A and B are shown apart, each in its own frame.
Chain A
Amino acid sequence: MGLDKYQIAQRIAQEVKDGYYVNLGIGIPTLVANFVRQDIDVEFQSENGILGMGPFPFEGDEDADLINAGKQTITALPGAVFFDSAMSFSMIRGRHVDLTILGAMEVAQNGDIANWKIPGKMVKGMGGAMDLVASAERIIVAMTHTNKAGASKLLEACTLPLTGVGCVKKIVTDLAVIEVRNNAFHLVERAPGVSVAEIEAATEGQLIITGPVPEMIL
């Protein structure tokens, strides 16, 4: 049994450090905000134009002029700031945002990521993902280790159209924490109760295992 999506978010939250400006993608990454330590100062950026994004509003307090990049109604925390889209991507491309957390359909052992298009299916668009992955210094991918058909999402090479090349450095899945470097996946931690053999079996790309692999602490 691997982690559920909340536990994946909980593990990723440990990567969020004091003083970080963080951009969260849609899905599991959005959940990360709920698990960030209360004793550190972190600001969440949403690329549609807010720094200092707060939780969802209480019923009746929602404001049509205040949404996140997933078009959900949100709140602004004290000290929050609004800005235009070009400035938002200046923060992203200019590497002022410290950490980007996003989902993926496939990641390759060279750090390539595919998360926007499945040929033959309706294409919705890349949104800000290509700008984010092309520029962020720290990118963490949150995803399940295998897809619904059971096939590995950690591949020797991506099969789907790419979102960015050579950009992913860390992946947190339901089974493991993996670092991506030197054209290989490196197993750093295993989910509680998950064996190294299970992770190896679920990883198509080259997986490097050095010594005993510790269990994640959640």
Chain B
Amino acid sequence: MIQKTVADVHQACHGVEDGMTLLLGGFGLCGIPENAIAELKRLNVRDLTCISNNAGVDDFGLGLLLQSRQISTMIASYVGENAEFERQMLSGELNVSLIPQGTLAQRCQAAQSGIPAFYTPAGYGTEVAQGKEVREFNGKMHVLEHAFDADFSFVKAWKGDTAGNLIFKGTARNFNPNMCGAATITVAEVEELVPAGTLDPNAIHIPGIFIQRIFQGAHYEKRIEQLTTRTKDHGAR
């Protein structure tokens, strides 16, 4: 069994340098690589291009790297929850590229799969398609989109084994599987790391071949962004 385990988050992030392009899993604050983000902040690597569906909130997730001005370009589909993000975007300190969510997912998937580009109907006729090749298939117009080209991919899974095989939980799966193997080096952090051979092969979501480094994360906060509950009687509150 090929071992992918590294001792800790410091080893896991070895080689991350200024100016690199990073893929980061998660949807809002759900399923984000909390340990890797904390380490990137500690390393103080700068001028990063971060590709992630969202940009965290002011004091958590990618918001932590925005606070310390480590991100120069953000590629995301929705960034609505972050006042510091807004300030840096309006002042021009931060380059922002907003792209459709399905296109973001597929650009990861394409990079993972060795597909350099693909056509999608999303964004045709909008400013997202400006300057891009368009082509008609079956009477409908499509836009050419390219696979991401990233240096590191940071993903978070629920369980993993020492061979890098991963299992995700609930909607914390989101972009994480698509980002595995979509960069030169993929770093997976897991809540529970088990010896290879102990996970049910039928239950594995992502084979370890897509992962270069895996470690057990610590102190997961798993913050909830919008707590919505109902009372035992009925109705939302």
Give the interface of A toward B (CB within 8 A).
46-50, 55-74, 76, 82-86, 88-89, 92-93, 112, 122-131, 134-135, 161-166
Q: Judge whether A67 and B30 touch: CB under 8 Å.
A: yes
Interface string of B116-151 (1 = CB under 8 A from A): 000011111111100000000000000000000000
Q: Is A50 in contact with B171, judged by CB distance below 8 angstroms?
A: yes
B173 within 8 A of A: yes
Q: Which one of B222, B228, B230 contacts A65 once the chains associate, using CB atoms below 8 Å? A: B222
Q: Please, could you name 27 A-B residue pairs with CB atoms under 8 Å apart, sorted by A? A: A46-B171, A48-B27, A48-B171, A49-B27, A62-B224, A65-B30, A69-B27, A71-B81, A72-B226, A73-B226, A82-B171, A84-B168, A84-B176, A88-B105, A89-B105, A93-B102, A122-B86, A124-B80, A125-B76, A125-B98, A126-B98, A127-B100, A128-B100, A130-B103, A161-B126, A163-B126, A164-B126
Of B99, B158, B226, B229, the residue contacting A58 (CB under 8 A) is B229
Contact with A82, one of B80, B109, B123, B170 (Cβ below 8 angstroms): B170
A83 to B173, CA, bound (A): 7
**A86 and B175 alpha carbons, distance in the complex (Å):** 7
Please give the distance in Å from B24's CB to the nearest CB on chain A. Answer: 13
**Contact A67/B27 with A85-B178, A86-B109, A124-B78 known, Cβ cut-off 8 Å:** yes
The answer on a CB contact under 8 Å between A84 and B121 is no
Of B30, B175, B223, B226, most buried by chain A (CB within 10 Å of CB) is B30
- Chain B residues whose C-beta falls within 8 Å of the C-beta of A89 in the assembled complex: 101-102, 105-106
Q: Across chains A and B, which 4 residue pairs bring their CB atoms closest together, nearest first?
A: A89-B102, A131-B102, A165-B125, A124-B80
Give the residue name and chain of the B residue nearest to A59 (CB): B229
Q: In whole Å, how far is A58's beta carbon from the nearest beta carbon of chain B?
A: 6
Interface pair A84/B174, CB less than 8 Å apart = yes
Residues of A within 8 A of B158 (CB): 65
> B127 to A161, Cβ gap below 8 A?
yes
Q: Does B63 contact A (CB under 8 A)?
A: no
